[in-house]
Amino acid sequence: MQGKSLNPGVVMLRRMERSYPVGLAIVLVVALITHLPTTFGELSTDDYLIRAMVAGDAGLRDQGFDKADPDKSLARGLSDAFHFYSPQAGTLQAYQDYGNLPWWAGEEARMNPWRPLSALTHWLDYRLGHFSFPLLAAHSLLYLLLFAWFGYRLFWRLSSRASVAVLAALLLTVDYSLFLNFNWIAARNVFIAGALGCAMLEQFLLWRQQGQGWRLALSLVLFAAGLLSAESSIALAGYLFAYLWLVERPGWQRLLIGLLPFALVVVCWRLAYNLMGYGADGISLYVDPVHSPLRFLQSLAVTLPNLLMAVVTSVETPLQLLASWARGWLAALAAAIIVTGLYLARKVLARNPRARFMLVGSVLAAVPASALLTAGPRGGVFITIGFFWVLALWLHHALNAGRALRWLAGAVLVAHLFLPAYSGELDQSFWKYLITSTT
């Protein structure tokens, strides 16, 4: 007897299920090849400081730095891991006396983030890795691969085509992260928080679609873990709001109820953060929106458009090196580039509410990221999650459109996939040659 013909939708789903592992393999292999650790590399000042704070250093302890006590407990090491200086702990004056901070540093300057989950990975570094850069880089590679995997899982849930999920995941791991944060061990929390953030968003979407309470609980745990890895994880709230507002459209009362559990997590985290004396104030690198709201709003107008422009163009702008008048002009240029991008993507955004949700979530994620005044790549991880998925959708559309759009799409692919890898290899080769020829 001849079997019944399958529904086209069922056929499509089965084909997607078969192609899922193939797409995942492509993403992980490319991420591995483009970030494979080598013996070339060196630790930075922050890496040494984190090691002293987590594992202790007898020499620094003998110089009067009590926080570098090698006999400290694990709990204390995790709480001190990212302690750079604070007047309350006496380390600001101690660092000035030691010469690690200039004498003109502000009397109330504080740089003391709370990232115990990320700190635990550094504790493992220095207990198991014996301070070897290749081993530390291999450890960081693990979290990069997790970031690629969870990013791909999220994009798969959102996409109707496997090629969109694969392309978005490649953009996320190759364009954004290549050599910008990976070779800086102290910036590992970018990948940890990014992986947790993608996993949290996936569980949130499944909770809203399926109504399973355990998925809500898991998304809350992942959200809390992200906050304990990097403060920038609060940007995920922008995606939650954008999804409820633009996809579900439940009305304001139900929207606020849907956000309430996550708001409670943020309130509890921030209360603990403040009561234990953590934060960043009085420095030119970060501005705390809670402690310095006016200064944060003043910087937002310049920092936010430049963060978005950096994601669109794949070009990072060192804002701290520019004069104030130049920053204003750069913000205007960034706004023009963003408006042009919105015009080009208007058809994709008009017919796809998920694309609108991810784009608005990306823009909202840039607000807390603006607390990093340099508008550097460390603050952009949650912006890229939404933007690169929308970009992958647009590229799929443009590559099947007219000649002009196909050429533009090709140029975008070169800028976001091939140039970063090529320039990263050139940068690595140049510095390796310079170090070798001068030693």
Mean pLDDT, range 223-233, rounded to an integer: 95
Q: What is the mean pLDDT of residues 67-86?
A: 84
Of the ranges 31-40, 120-129, 169-178, 236-245, which is most confident?
236-245
Per-residue pLDDT band at 193 (split at 50, 70, 90) = very high
Greater model confidence, 15 or 209: 209
Confidence at residue 197, expressed as pLDDT on a 0 to 100 scale: 96
74: pLDDT strictly greater than 70? yes
- Which pair of structure tokens corresponds to residue 394? 């647009």
Dihedral in degrees, nearest 10, Cα atoms 304, 307, 312, 314: 170
For residue range 113-128, what is the model confidence (pLDDT) as tens digits?
Answer: 899 999 999 988 887 7
Q: What is the CA radius of gyration of the chain?
A: 23
User: Cα–Cα distances in Å, from 146 out to 124, 139, 142, 190, 328?
Assistant: 17, 11, 6, 12, 38
Tell me the pLDDT of the chain averaged across its residues: 81
Q: pTM (2 decimals)?
A: 0.86
Provide mean pLDDT across the span 141-151. Answer: 94
252-302 pLDDT, tens digit each: 899 999 999 999 999 999 999 988 888 877 776 777 777 778 888 877 877
User: Is residue 439's pLDDT more than 60?
Assistant: no
Q: 279 pairs with which residues across the strands?
A: 112
**Percentage of residues in the chain having pLDDT higher than 70:** 80
pLDDT of 3 reads 45
Q: What is the pLDDT at residue 88? A: 74
Asked whether the predicted pLDDT for residue 336 surpasses 60, the reply is yes
**Which one is predicted more confidently, 126 or 28?**
28
pLDDT at 168: 94
Q: What is the pLDDT of residue 194?
A: 94
Task: Find the angle CA(423)-CA(153)-CA(361) to the nearest 5 degrees.
Answer: 75
Give the model's pLDDT for residue 281.
74
Most confidently predicted of 38-47, 98-107, 294-303, 350-359 = 350-359
Asked if residues 386 and 205 have their Cβ atoms less than 8 Å apart, the reply is: no
pLDDT band at 54 (very low <50, low <70, confident <90, very high): confident
What number is the average pLDDT over the span 366-391? 80
Structure-model confidence comparison of residues 234 and 336, the more confident one: 234
User: Given a cut of 60, is residue 65 above it in pLDDT?
Assistant: yes
Quick check: 46 pLDDT over 70? Answer: yes
pLDDT bracket for residue 245 (50, 70, 90): very high
Find out whether 331 and 221 touch, Cβ atoms under 8 Å: no
Q: What is the pLDDT of residue 162?
A: 86
First to last CA, the chain: 79
Decide if 142 contacts 124 (C-beta within 8 A): no
User: What does the pLDDT look like over 399-430, one tens digit per residue?
Assistant: 888 888 889 888 888 888 877 666 554 444 43
What whole-number distance in Å separates Cα of residue 393 and Cα of residue 24?
Answer: 18
Residue 363: which pLDDT band, with cuts at 50, 70 and 90?
very high
Q: Which of 146, 148, 152, 199 is nearest to 20 (CA)?
A: 152
Selection from 221, 200, 208, 206 nearest residue 157 by Cα: 206
Backbone angles phi and psi of 418, in degrees to 5: -95, -45
Q: What is the pLDDT of residue 246?
A: 95
Q: How many CB atoms lie within 10 A of CB 409?
A: 20
Q: Between the ranges 38-52, 129-143, 173-187, where is the mean pLDDT highest? A: 129-143
